[in-house]
Amino acid sequence: MRYLLSISLFVFLFGQTTFAQSSDNVSTSDTISIEKSNPLEILNPEVLFPFFKELQSLETKKEGKVRMVQIGDSHIQADFSTNIIKDIFQQKFGNGGLGFIFPHRLVKTNGTSKVNFKSNANFSSSRNVRPADENPIGIAGYTISTSNRNAVIEVDIKNEQDYPNSIKIITPNKERFFNVGFANGNRISLEKQTIKAKNHKVKKGETLSSISRKYGVSIDFIKKSNGLKSNNLAIGKSLKVGEEKEIESEVSIPNFDLVDLTFDDKSFSYHSPKAIDEFYLIGNESKSDYKLSGLLLENNQSGITFSGIGVNGAKLSDYNQFDMFFDQLQVLNPNLIIVSLGTNESFDGLIVADYMVNLQIFVTKVKQTNPNTAILVTTPPPSTLHKRFENTYIAEYTKGIIEFANTNKTIAVFDMYQAFGGENGVKINKQKGFLAKDEVHYTKEGYEQQGKILAEALLNAYQNYISNK
């Protein structure tokens, strides 16, 4: 049944509540076209009952852990919305630890702000969007690698409430690429020397050939680095003749106290009776190269872990192509998986039928490796195509997801598209300051609103479960 929901409900969602500032101004003449009766309700909440059962047990007995995982694209990799959901659930049910983390900063991309990563080695990365054949990709959607046999990674947890007792190292093909160590009192420096890029101002009589010989670089490098289409040079022109480089530093391994690791067929683990604020991953001397899929950090307390896994530019099909992703997902042992993908499919012009095929493949693969995991799919939030066109693909994906959920009761659905304004969402969220300038991504505040609304929807469904038992 289709009907119009007045803007008063939207003001409830985005106005004088904790979800927005009262100074924002949205015209009351606007209406929002809604497919479902209430965007704050979850479709097929019964799919989540196994998850809710574990939540109730955790809440009443104060024992064990309940693990939540959200998988997505750049909306998730930024960790803004996921961090809010994590905080809300951990405040109510207890803090079970940080969950899954990946050292995005070592390969100069965005990730969680709750952990500092530092290394003496330079790492390269592969991601499921543009994979390299030699680097199989697992749970993070990324793999980092280095051939530096002196490689050390420092892992520094910022906040005391996040200090773990348990460390699990997840690696491609379950190989032991790293040991775990702690500083034994000696000062450990992982600082790398930075060599700045070189520039050269062309003098009279100089040629590309003479300049390339002077700096030991190829003519092709100079031409490509400076966008030159010919060998002609203008006197006084500034040329880039060298790239900025980071020189890897040497680290003395005797500076670390190594600990014994156990292997559980999926990951390498270390457990400490004391909370850990800092530790090091040290390259296994028996290996010639080193690869990392990620880390799982948990504490000795009962409570919630919430792991956000996002890859900039990712689509369902990108995750689907790597069986290792679904295999390593078992390490996280999730009670609930939230799937939030679709924006990048829309930019590829993927028709809704093909999107739904990819979604069904993803759900099937999750169930094959994690059969007891409940799955919640969120529809993509409103956006534009190239800042010029309404993104009607998002509306079609939303309709397809809801129709699938209505006929196939294997997934629950939260309609983020309608919760954020539906077909009027771009205009409304721009007015609220929730939409970024590219009109695809959201501001930090916008992502935080998404996290709050999704967390509230889940908690409302949980309370209904408790009330109706």
Cα–Cα distance measured from residue 358 to residue 326, given in angstroms and rounded to the nearest whole number: 14
Between residues 319 and 20, which one has the greater pLDDT? 319
- Residue 322 pLDDT > 70, yes or no? yes
Name the pLDDT band for 27 (thresholds 50, 70, 90).
very low
Q: Are strands 336-340 and 374-378 parallel, antiparallel or unpaired?
A: parallel
Structure tokens at 397: 């994906």
The yes/no answer on whether domain 197-243 falls in CATH 3.10.350.10 is yes
Name the pLDDT band for 243 (thresholds 50, 70, 90).
confident
pLDDT in tens, 286-314: 999 999 999 999 999 999 999 999 999 99
- Residue 20 pLDDT > 70, yes or no? no
What is the predicted pLDDT for the residue at 448?
96
Closest CA to 429 of 397, 391, 376, 464: 391
- Residue 7 pLDDT > 70, yes or no? no
What is the predicted pLDDT for the residue at 171?
97
Cα–Cα distance measured from residue 220 to residue 246, given in angstroms and rounded to the nearest whole number: 22
Between residues 363 and 251, which one has the greater pLDDT? 363
What is the predicted pLDDT for the residue at 1?
34
The answer to whether domain 1-94+302-469 and domain 100-196+244-298 are alike in fold is: no
Other Cβ atoms within 10 Å of 269 Cβ, number = 16
Cα–Cα distance measured from residue 449 to residue 80, given in angstroms and rounded to the nearest whole number: 9
Output the average pLDDT for the chain: 87
- CATH of region 1-94+302-469, choose from 3.40.1210.10, 3.10.20.30, 3.30.1370.10, 3.40.50.1110: 3.40.50.1110
Structure tokens at 443: 């501001």
What is the predicted pLDDT for the residue at 337?
98
Cα–Cα distance measured from residue 44 to residue 37, given in angstroms and rounded to the nearest whole number: 13
**Range from 52-61, 182-191, 308-317 carrying the lowest mean pLDDT:** 182-191
Other Cβ atoms within 10 Å of 235 Cβ, number = 10
* Mean per-residue pLDDT, 350-354: 97
Between residues 297 and 208, which one has the greater pLDDT? 297
- Residue 386 pLDDT > 90, yes or no? no
Domain boundaries, the chain: 1-94+302-469, 100-196+244-298, 197-243
**DSSP conformation letters of 345-406:** HHHTT--HHHHHHHHHHHHHHHHHH-TT-EEEEEPPPP-EETTTEE-HHHHHHHHHHHHHHH
pLDDT in tens, 104-121: 999 889 889 999 999 999
100-196+244-298 folds as Jelly Rolls (2.60.120)
Between residues 306 and 204, which one has the greater pLDDT? 306
Structure tokens at 125: 């990365």
Name the pLDDT band for 192 (thresholds 50, 70, 90).
low
Name the pLDDT band for 217 (thresholds 50, 70, 90).
confident
> Amino acid letter at 285?
E
pLDDT in tens, 413-451: 999 999 999 999 999 999 999 999 999 999 999 999 999
pLDDT in tens, 70-89: 999 999 998 999 999 999 99
Name the pLDDT band for 24 (thresholds 50, 70, 90).
very low
What is the predicted pLDDT for the residue at 22?
29
**DSSP conformation letters of 436-461:** -TTSSSB-HHHHHHHHHHHHHHHHHH
What is the predicted pLDDT for the residue at 211?
86
Name the pLDDT band for 369 (thresholds 50, 70, 90).
very high
